Amino acid sequence: MNVPASPPPSETAPAVDLKAMYRDTDIGSLLADLDRELVGLKPVKDRIREIAAFLLVARARENLGLASAPPTLHMAFTGNPGTGKTTVALRMAGILHRLGYVRKGHLVSVTRDDLVGQYIGHTAPKTKEVLKRAMGGVLFIDEAYYLYRPENEKDYGQEAIEILLQVMENQRDDLVVILAGYADRMNTFFSANPGFRSRIAHHIDFPDYSDAELLRIAETMATAEGYRFDDAAKAALTDYIARRRTQPNFANARSIRNAFDRARLRQAVRLFDTDTPVGRDDLMTISAAEILASRIMK
């Protein structure tokens, strides 16, 4: 009797456990930090999670030998001041490091003055020194459009731009550049410098905070510093936020930080002028008087 031969054992295709990779790289803790540090900004946080997932999958594809071009990592963050762009850039540097896309994961934050010189031969060494410090991490250029000043024929910003573009292309496996600034000015900047636009893969817009979110930010700042607003102070602060938003140079969370610092100063003066002993609650409490004393509330 002929016994049929057993079929050859089937080969199991290689697989990658993405959830295990996610846990091993501890990206989740960085995303949790972002949630804890920044109020609101759901569209931004969602976009960061999307980019993190994309990079995780790209790394998994590489581990399995799937052919694909290395992901382009340079980014543009657009939005008004005080909307968390620098904080997000710092967390993004950590994500890129833990996934192995940058060696160090540090953030170097600069402006035009750090890159552009004031005389011939000054710009190149300044720009190259900044790039040297940023290698292996993320270079964050705030208000990047100030690099380009077409109205000034003798401006040296174009030299810095040319050096940056060359490094962004040739050393993109060792440096990620994030350009930041107001959305309309960044659009003009990209139109005048298409080399930047072609190298930017991820554009993230940072919305302004709502009044309710700004109040939560103020309360979060106060708690972190061991203060609290009493009910009357919260009501006054709500009014202050609505008025401050209409004032020049409003800078979202940055303006709220300044207001909180001034309120602490006024509280200190009020307590110092008190003739009676002050207790723990006195030292912690910001009253309505500290908010109403602002010139904006006059």
**Measured distance CA(79)–CA(239) in Å, rounded:** 24
Instruction: Indicate the pLDDT class of residue 16, thresholds 50, 70 and 90.
Output: confident
| pLDDT of 9 over the 70 cut | no
Mean pLDDT, rounded, for 113-120: 86
Confidence of residue 11 (pLDDT cuts 50, 70, 90): low
As a whole number, mean pLDDT of residues 94-122 equals 90
Cα–Cα distance for residue pair 200/71, rounded to 1 Å: 11
How many other C-beta atoms are found inside a 10 Å radius of the C-beta of residue 128? Answer: 14
The per-residue pLDDT for range 133-143, each reduced to its tens digit, is 999 999 999 99
Closest among 168, 173, 171 to 197, alpha carbons compared: 168
76 or 66: whose pLDDT is higher? 76
Residue 2, pLDDT score: 54
Q: Would you state the pLDDT for residue 13?
A: 59
How many Å is the Cα radius of gyration of the chain? 25
Domains annotated on the chain, with CATH = 18-206 (3.40.50.300), 211-297 (1.10.8.60)
B/e letters for 266-282, b = 16+ CB within 10 Å, e = fewer, are bbeebeeeeeeeeeeee
